[in-house]
């Protein structure tokens, strides 16, 4: 059964970069096979990992909904969707990538979403680790991806807006039908000024902070991936120290 690490947080906090760094660390530490799931509609996880997505589940679902006649004769919709999901998985260097894409357009996708969630739940069992980069609203966790996570890792910056968004993510995860194991908070771009009271109000366990990393800023501004980040980079080493709390299985 895949060990699921789901990341969430408001835009601009470094959530996707943190997800990519975690995937890199799991790979470099040889902890097991990794499935990276980009469940943020902005779909930037592939670029952060150096493997831009070619096809998303969103475009596949739209195609099936608009042209059900293209399902091969003798093949059920469920089987066809499972086949198309398998063809959308990209093989990276030490990980696989599945991009969910943008939310569906008009029309009812309830049946397809239920089928898709069952397919993803089956797929997850084939990997030791599954890292899911979510949007703050947790849309995919609640409807399309899977309704469980061993760890919900909420990413915030040190601002009041970011920490209040982290609190809302935690509250939302409890309102939705999602089974969560541990709930952690990481603060990015932290110079030690984060309000401790606001951190406590999030209801999340603050397991560490990551300071400003000039090497990471340069890579991001150049449009490069975290694969290009040197091994002595501040963010990579700070996350490495935090990591034991994230991917330990007990």
List CB contacts of 115: < 8 A, sequence separation 6 or more: 77, 78, 81
Query: pLDDT value at position 114?
Result: 73
Alpha-carbon span 127 to 34, nearest angstrom: 6
Give first-to-last CA distance, the chain, whole Å: 14
Give the start-end residues of each E strand in 40-188: 90-91, 96-99, 129-134, 148-156, 179-188
Query: pLDDT value at position 23?
Result: 95
**Neighbour tally for 27: CB within 10 Å:** 19
Check if the beta carbon of residue 19 is closer than 8 Å to that of residue 143.
no
What is the average pLDDT across 5-16?
A: 89
Query: pLDDT value at position 118?
Result: 81
| pLDDT (tens digit per residue) in 68-84 | 888 888 888 888 888 88
Look at 151 and 54; give whichever has higher pLDDT: 151
Look at 143 and 21; give whichever has higher pLDDT: 21
Alpha-carbon span 195 to 197, nearest angstrom: 5
Six-digit token string for 12: 């601009």
Read out DSSP for 177-232?
Answer: T-EEEEEEEEEES--S-S-HHHHHHTTSEEEEEE---HHHHHHHHTT--GGGS-TT
Global pTM reads: 0.90
| pLDDT (tens digit per residue) in 149-187 | 999 999 999 899 999 999 999 998 888 878 899 999 999
Set out the domains of the chain in order of their start, with CATH numbers.
3-247 (3.40.50.300)
Helix (H/G/I), strand (E/B), else coil: 118: helix
Residue 190 binned pLDDT confidence (cut-offs 50, 70, 90): confident
Picking from 85, 63, 86, 83, the residue whose alpha carbon sits closest to that of residue 74 is 83
What is the average pLDDT across 37-53?
A: 85
Check if the beta carbon of residue 140 is closer than 8 Å to that of residue 117.
no
Alpha-carbon span 157 to 74, nearest angstrom: 52
| pLDDT (tens digit per residue) in 93-109 | 899 999 887 655 555 55
Query: pLDDT value at position 249?
Result: 54
| pLDDT (tens digit per residue) in 123-138 | 888 999 999 998 877 8
Question: Per-residue pLDDT for 34 more than 80?
Answer: yes
Q: In this structure, are strands 3-8 and 34-39 parallel, antiparallel, or unpaired?
A: unpaired
| pLDDT (tens digit per residue) in 218-227 | 887 777 788 8
Check if the beta carbon of residue 134 is closer than 8 Å to that of residue 6.
yes
Residue 20 falls in which region: left (phi positive, over 0), alpha (psi -120 to 50) or beta? alpha
- Work out the burial of residue 179: count CB atoms within 10 Å of its CB; fewer than 13 is exposed, 13-18 middle, 19 or more buried: exposed
């Amino acid at each position: 059964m895949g060990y699921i690490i789901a990341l969430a947080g408001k835009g601009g906090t470094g959530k996707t970069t943190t997800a990519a760094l975690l995937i890199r660390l799991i790979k470099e530490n040889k902890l097991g096979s990794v499935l990276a799931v980009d469940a943020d509609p902005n779909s930037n996880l592939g670029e952060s990992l150096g493997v831009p997505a070619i096809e998303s589940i969103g475009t596949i679902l739209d195609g099936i909904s608009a042209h059900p006649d293209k399902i091969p004769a003798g093949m059920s919709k469920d089987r066809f969707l499972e086949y198309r999901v398998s063809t959308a998985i990209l093989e990276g260097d030490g990980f696989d990538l599945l991009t969910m894409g943008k939310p569906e357009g008009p029309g009812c996708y309830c049946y397809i979403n239920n089928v898709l969630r069952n397919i993803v739940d089956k797929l997850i069992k084939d990997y030791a680790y599954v890292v899911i980069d979510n949007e703050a609203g947790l849309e995919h966790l609640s409807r399309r991806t899977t309704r469980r996570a061993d760890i919900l890792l909420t990413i915030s910056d040190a601002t009041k807006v970011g920490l209040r968004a982290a609190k809302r993510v935690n509250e939302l995860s409890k309102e939705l039908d999602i089974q969560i194991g541990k709930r952690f908070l990481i603060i990015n771009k932290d110079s030690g000024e984060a309000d401790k009271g606001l951190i406590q109000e999030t209801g999340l366990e603050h397991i560490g902070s990551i300071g400003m990393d000039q090497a990471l800023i340069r890579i991001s501004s150049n449009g490069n991936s975290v694969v290009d980040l040197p091994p002595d980079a501040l963010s990579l080493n700070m996350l490495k120290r935090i990591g034991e709390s994230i991917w330990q299985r007990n």
